[in-house]
Structure 1
Amino acid sequence: MRSFVYISWFSSFLLLILLGSGSLFLWISSDSVPRHPALQVDTLPDLISVREFYANTDAIWGHIPSHDGALLAWWGVKWGHDTVFIGRAGRIDGDGPEVIAVLDGPADTIFWSAFENKLHVVSDGRLWLVDPNSPDRDQWLDVTPRGFQNWEVLKQAPTAEGRNVIMSNDRDPSLVDLYSVRPDGGGKELLVRNDGKTQTWIAGRDGAPRIRVDKAENDDRIYMMRGATDGSWREFARTSPFETLIIGDAPDDGQPIEALDNRGGDLLAFVRIDEQTGAKSVAFSDTKADVAQVLHFSSNPAPGDVAIVRDGYPRYVGLTGRGKTFLHLLHADEGPVDFNIQGTSPDGRFVTLSVSRDEAPFQYFLFDLEASTSTHIANSSFSRHRDELAKTKPVSFVARDGRSIPAFLTLPHGVQPKGLPTVVLVHGGPAERDIWQYDYQKQFLANRGYAVLSVNFRGSIGYGRAFQEAGYGQYGKAMQDDIIDAANWLVSEGIADRSAMAVMGGSYGGYAAALAMTRDPGVFKAAIAEFGVMDVKYQMQNNPFAWGLILDGMNRYFGDPEKTENLQEMTDRSPVSHVDKVTGAILLTAGKEDRIVGFEQSEEFERALKAAGKDVQAAYFEKEGHGYRRWQTDVKRARILEDFLARTLGGRTGNFDLAEIAAKYLN
């Protein structure tokens, strides 16, 4: 037994050495030659390994500034594990910030204190406070909110004498109550008890609940403001089930409420609402698409700084002086740019962000919006491949009923865009959408030789109420037609080889991918259906109980499971009901801890396919839920995926990757 333990430990140590960066790294692979004729050219870029995509030990990400901008915390990799590093923002060279602390212990989430340069770390359900000057694990201070089973910090205490506002659904999984605790986690006090109708709470500057959103019996949403003097609640706005009103923050007394609002119109606009009269004025709107987002750099009530419209390439509009400074530092007018805010200081002065210009790998920056300066923190470790990456462009096609459907087309680098093996991507939700952005999954597929088309089918958000409502009740029908029409458009444009097409998606996208193989056999040669709904009736009768106040949105798409006539439609439009029609190959993946779409649906679909003698492959991942977060899973999934697509469509695969062994043993 001792010899076995010793060998296992030594093997793991050896794996870590082999997976390290620089000259010590030993690469073992046997890349295959693509079988598809369109890819048998000399101009294909080098195949980028699975390790570099999903298990890169040089990777860094998620830089966030301390309250005064003096320190930065970020994620990196140490001995095969995601690790938190802390460094000085004022001392950055070619290798990044000067590291002053490396946290010795697992971390799920990190955020800085609002009033001191100490870091909060969420680890295994506990909240810890870490002093960068004493980072050893035994020096961490446990400040977990006491007296809770489930909790989330809604608003941090602004000072040491203030109180944190905590959301908890301990009393009822479908309802959230608000409490306050001291910064040390003690002194639990009830702020407001949910009366069974409130979906959302928004706290004011002082941490007290100021705005709430209630669900009415007719499924309207009622927006309530709490008086600053008498504490009474009064209505200031109301929406029907087909309208949207999204409040960004609770304003100070006398200031207007800022929101995204489509009441009385089709598209979401950025508006300001008078809290006394409910009257609204439009601050910014677009004529083609919703205002997707308004950035507020300060965590305290303040006007929105930047509006974002995502119709094709993203467009950014500065709404304040600070917002215009941000866009100037971003050089937002110099071609398409994708950025992600990593963190901000409470006063909004310091902003950290990752920036990808024209789909180049991310660069990381620290902006000082008061001094109007930009500091380059670091480059993504993926930057060495910038000349080998694919480009994505917005496109659209006309569906069979004449509706224009927006999409994004990614073409592999180094080949002619004619007769390519192709993957059609279907997003989840279905009340979601794809956007133009730097996307690892698309880059991975394109590097293997595949054209990729991601489809914003009717029912997707972002293109107005009418476009979304066109999907209500149309799962398995017009929504699915859009996926098939996308495939036919690719062929008609000469981009795709009809005999080498796959459809792929997760959650609702997994449903659509599986259904494409049962409803429209022969259109796609293969499908990759991940954590998908395979039995709509089962799903609608077993949605998470915590969704109690938002299930009406699901019902608009899929029907009411309490109505008998809807249940038969759910059965008829489920992939599991029609396995006999499948003619191609199907790959299923799911997480065993998925609490939204249980992996048992994929299991049952797999059993039915095998019983019918169909070509099916499945992978179920431990420690994963609805979507995958662990690098070990990413590595295993990527290897399965590239081999499956190489077998069915004829693209490239790296075959064996040393990272597979690391993913197995460093679990």
Structure 2
Amino acid sequence: MVLPSVASADNEEAKKFGARATIEHASLSPDGALLAYLQPTKGQGSGLYVVPLDGSAKPALILRAEGDPERLGYCKWVAAARLVCNVYGITQIEGGHPAYISRLIAVDADGKNMKMLFDRGGAGQALGYKLFGGRVIDWLPDEDGKVLMMREFVPETSTATHLAQTDDGIGVVKVDTRNLSTTPVERPKNAIAEFIADGRGKVRIQGTTPINASGYQRGETRYAYRTSDSRDWKPLSIVTEAETSFNPYAVDPDLDVAYGLQKLDGRRAAYKVALDGSLKQELVFAHPDVDVDGFVHIGRRGRVIGVTYATDRREALYFDPELDKLATSLAKAIPDLPLIRFVDSTVDEKKLLIWAGSDTNPGRYYLFDRVAKQLRPLFDARAELENAQLAPVKAMTYRAADGTMIPAYLTLPPGKTSARGLPALVLPHGGPEARDEWGFDWLSQYFAARGFAVLQPNFRGSAGYGDTWFRKNGFQNWKTAIGDIDDGGRWLISEGVDPGKLAILGWSYGGYAALQSAVAEPGLFKAVIAVAPVTDLNMLKEERQIWSDYRVVGAYVGDGPHIEQGSPARHAGDIKAPVLMFHGSYDRNVGVYHSRVMADRLKDAGANSQYVEYPKLDHYLEDSDARIDMLARSDAFLRASLGLN
């Protein structure tokens, strides 16, 4: 195991691209007078700043989380001068397992009257861990300072007292964030996965995940709904991994419908279902080539205004004609920033907080006044890159060995028009149930700035293109997925890249793909970098044994010859290229022992390998110093391995 030391003294690009985003989250107060935003501090820490939008005062730091382990996830306004923040951390519980722990707190705009929106239980001893700190499901804009929130209840054993808590499971309560006055709304139940409210304080949908006798999920979610005039639950749908049934996402109280996703011809499509008792279903939108992957919301009530999907780039179809026209106008009015996102709004939706970005710009925040028709720039999402020359990203396809055209993105160094003569990097995405999109990506932009051509393939096994493309997934069908990735490397060579200067880098599943590519095609890539990689498929299943999703993960990874054949840690001796790995010791997504085992196996095989472990960091390494170190080390490793120095 190698502990980190900063290796970036002469690498200015590593400092710029490795720094966390300047603005991590932003929220507009209900009256439009104040803006709140999160800004990174040292390590994994963040500060909450509040600034008047009339320019009467400078930004004020009102709350700070040091990052060891408490971190700020988001802060949103619950009243004109009060915020609710998600505070979370990853720490080790019994047995040394990393666990995600969250809490909600409320604080005034001046940093005073801080309250934790958390049930501390009764006077007994808790019979389990209370990891989930709650989630707001309705911001109740008509009830100043109150929220509707899901809350976890853990039963307690009584010791000479009748005050021990007996409730068990997830329930819903209405909480006054100023004085913590609490009103029960939905009694706690075991196996609750989610509740969906209508933006007006009514819980209309509940989802449950049945648990077997061993305490493991059965791999389905059962949804029920209420009509607007009843408290009785009626069956809505049963959603399994196949997603052939309606999966609800939001409720529109005016139309009395639920919006959700459901498979149509093997792709996710948007539907709405009547909640009046008839369950009449209507197709809202389906794309012939890609999945619909979500809904666009606006306002304090989370009003659904459209659907979103990604073809070559992120797109949206708006139901609201005015907002559709506005989004089109904004895309034209903001030069070279065609990606538009409605981040937040005032209660009356007359002032909008907007983010706009592109492939060569990590994004800027704007305030738009719909009445005055004024667009006001606020700040850059990544101030460190304000004057940096970034590389255009080109959507393209290349041919796999079986003739299938693989969609991908090619990023060339600024000023270059061809990969010919350049060192190159194949950068497979994580997941595998994910996909790359057109836009700013700090990893690909960093390596382009360092002179590499970067190819990001949406290999078969990627999400977003329907069932036929996804297949079972990138683990069970690893040969196809890895074959597509390797064919991306071959395509780069056909474009003039020197075969001796071709490398691969991946994070999470991408790290797995990088290592497994080196097993399947030992001579193709001349250097391998894996960040937080899966290295043994059976280990990936077994690390979930203490969690309720153990059976679900087990079914996802599957059983059969692919467990042995598709686990790079079992074939370390086949890897001929130099290997560099990084992992955070508190990784909850992929246990750190995946990299530790792989490092040991590579050492035993006499391989040229290095391993860097970052103490107390999780899967995403959200620490600027760690990311800078990782980028600088990776660049130095590639230059040494590919003979670029």
Shorter-chain TM-score bucket reads: 0.7 to 0.9
Match of 2:582 among 586, 589, 609: 589
Q: Distance in 2 between matches of 1:313 and 1:230?
A: 43
Q: Secondary structure at the match of 2:639?
A: helix
Matches of 1:147 and 1:100 in 2, distance apart?
34
Cα separation, partners in 2 of 1:366 and 1:585, compared to 1, 3 Å: same
Q: 1:233 to 1:64 in 2, by over 3 A?
A: same
Q: Deviations for 1:489-539, whole angstroms, at most 9, x for unmatched residues?
A: 221233x32211121112211111111112221111111111111111111
Q: In 2, Cα distance between the equivalents of 1:78 and 1:84?
A: 10
Match of 1:111 in 2: 75
Quickly say closer, same or farther: Cα 1:239–1:427, change in 2 above 3 A: same
Paired residues for 1:354-433 under 5 Å: 354-369=355-370, 372-379=373-380, 380-382=382-384, 384-386=386-388, 388-415=389-416, 416-433=418-435
User: Is the alpha carbon distance of 1:188 and 1:535 closer, same or farther for their aligned partners in structure 2, counting shifts above 3 Å?
Assistant: farther
Output the CA distance in 1 between the equivalents of 2:574 and 2:269: 45
Deviations 1:317-352 (A, max 9, x none): 332034224413422597772345543445544432
Checking the alignment, whether the CA contact within 8 Å between 2:78 and 2:144 is kept in structure 1 is no
- The offset of 1:301, in angstroms, is 5.7
Which of residues 151, 154, 173 is equivalent to 1:167? 151
Say if 2:331 and 2:337, in contact at 8 Å, map to a contact too: no
Aligned partner of 1:85 in structure 2 is 49
Q: Which has the higher helix share?
A: 1
Pairs within 5 Å for 1:626-641: 626-641=619-634
In structure 1, the residue matched to 2:120 is: 147
Following the alignment from structure 2 to structure 1, what is the Cα–Cα distance between the partners of residues 541 and 42? 43
Code of the residue aligned with 1:141 in structure 2: it is M
What is the TM-score of this pair, normalised by structure 1?
0.80
Shift of 1:268: 2.2
**CA 1:347 to 1:209, structure 2 compared with 1: closer, same or farther past 3 Å?**
same
Give the 3 Å change call, closer, same or farther, for CA 407–514 of structure 1 in structure 2.
same
Residue 492 of structure 1: aligned partner? 494
**For each residue in 1:250-279, what CA deviation from the matched residue of structure 2 results, as whole angstroms up to 9, or x when unmatched?**
2327622222322x4222222222223333
Asked if the contact 1:250–1:301 (Cα under 8 Å) also holds between the matched residues in 2, the reply is no
2:36 to 65, 73, 76: 73
Shift of 1:205: 3.0
Match of 2:189 among 182, 194, 215: 194
Q: Which amino acid aligns with 1:181?
A: V
The amino acid across from 2:390 in the alignment is L
Q: Does structure 1 residue 477 correspond to structure 2 residue 496? A: no
TM-superposed deviation, 1:381: 2.2
Aligned to 2:15: 51
Provide, for residues 334-380 of structure 1, a one-character-per-residue CA deviation record: whole Å limited to 9, x for no partner. Answer: 77723455434455444323322452342221223465432211234
Query: Where does residue 98 of structure 2 map in the other structure?
Result: none
Shift of 1:227: 3.5
Report the alpha carbon displacement of residue 53 of structure 1 after superposing the two structures with TM: 2.3
- Per mean C-alpha deviation after superposition, the further-off stretch among 115-124 and 440-449 is 115-124
1:153 Cα deviation from its structure 2 partner: 2.3
Equivalent of 2:456 in 438, 445, 454? 454
Distance 1:76 1:163 in 2: 25
The aligned counterpart of 1:40 is none
Q: Find 2:439's aligned residue among 437, 440, 452.
A: 437
| 1:438 counterpart SS class | coil
Q: How many residues align?
A: 585
RMSD of equivalent CA atoms: 3.1
Query: Residue type of the partner of 2:61?
Result: V
TM-superposed CA distance for 1:76, in Å, is 3.7
Give the whole-Å Cα distance in 2 for the aligned partners of 1:527 and 1:324. 45
Which position in structure 1 is the counterpart of 2:199?
205
Match of 1:130 in 2: 107
Listed one character per residue, the Cα deviations across residues 194-227 of structure 1 (whole Å, up to 9, x for unaligned) are: 343x433212334443212345798554432124
Give 1:474 deviation, angstroms.
3.5
Give the AA of the match of 1:193: P
Distance 1:246 1:487 in 2: 38
Are the aligned partners of 2:14 and 2:631 in contact in 1 as well (CA < 8 Å)? yes
Kept in 1: contact 2:423–2:451 (CA 8 A):
yes
In structure 2, what is the Cα distance between the partners aligned to 1:146 and 1:160?
A: 21
Deviates more, 1:150-159 or 1:582-591: 150-159
Q: Please list the CA deviations of residues 50-69 of structure 1 after superposition, one character each: whole Å capped at 9, or x if unmatched.
A: 2222348x944533211111
Give me the whole-angstrom Cα distance separating, in 1, the residues matched to 2:369 and 2:286.
28
Is contact 2:239-2:247 (8 Å) kept? no
Q: Does the C-alpha gap of structure 1 residues 403 and 176 become closer, same or farther in structure 2, counting only changes over 3 Å?
A: farther
Alpha-carbon spacing, 1:78–1:623, altered in 2? closer, same or farther (3 Å):
closer
Q: In 1, distance between residues paired with 2:316 and 2:297?
A: 13
Structure 2 unmatched runs, 5+:
1-7, 66-70, 89-101, 122-129, 157-167, 213-217
Please give the alpha-carbon distance, in whole angstroms, between the structure 1 residues aligned to 2:594 and 2:42: 36
The residue that corresponds to 1:256 in the other structure is 257
How far is 1:409 from its partner?
0.9
Q: Determine which of 97, 101, 123 is the counterpart of 2:60.
A: 101
- Partner of residue 657, structure 1: none
TM-score, L = length of structure 2: 0.82
Quick one: distance in 2 between partners of 1:326 and 1:170?
47
Identity across the alignment (%): 24
The residue that corresponds to 1:4 in the other structure is: none
Equivalents in 2 of 1:127, 1:315: separation in Å?
Answer: 33
Structure 1's 51 and 472: CA in aligned 2 closer, same or farther, altered over 3 A? closer
Amino acid at match of 2:328: H
Given that residues 394 and 408 in structure 1 are in contact (C-alpha distance below 8 angstroms), is that contact kept between their aligned partners in structure 2? yes
1:556 and 1:591 map into 2 onto residues whose CA distance is 26
- The residue that corresponds to 2:161 in the other structure is none
Q: What is the SS of the residue equivalent to 2:295?
A: strand
Matched letter for residue 462 of structure 1: G
AA partner of residue 596 (structure 2): E
Contact 1:270 / 1:283 at 8 angstroms: preserved in 2? Answer: yes
Q: Which residue of 1 aligns with 2:215?
A: none
Is 1:613 the counterpart of 2:606? The answer is yes
Whole-angstrom distance in 2 between the partners of 1:240 and 1:119: 36
Which stretch of structure 1 is more off in the superposition, 113-122 or 620-629? 113-122
Structure 2 residue 560 is the aligned partner of structure 1 residue 576: no
Structure 1 counterpart SS, 2:432? coil
Residues 1:178 and 1:330: Cα distance change in structure 2 (over 3 Å)? same
Shift of residue 420, structure 1, vs aligned partner? 1.8
Residue identity in the other structure for 1:479:
A
Q: Which amino acid aligns with 1:426?
A: P
Give the Cα–Cα distance (whole angstroms) in 2 for the partners of residues 320 and 195 of structure 1.
Answer: 38
**In 2 relative to 1, CA 470–476 (structure 1 residues): closer, same or farther, beyond 3 Å?**
closer
Say if 1:555 and 1:29 are closer, same or farther in 2 by CA, change over 3 A.
Answer: closer
Determine the structure 2 residue equivalent to 1:270.
Answer: 270
In 1, Cα distance between the equivalents of 2:511 and 2:376? 41
After superposition, the C-alpha distances for 1:61-97 in whole angstroms (9 at most, x for unaligned) are 5332111111111234678964332112233xxxxx9
Within 2, Cα distance between the matches of 1:558 and 1:394? 30
Q: 2:467 aligns with which of 452, 465, 468?
A: 465
Give the partner amino acid of 1:143.
M
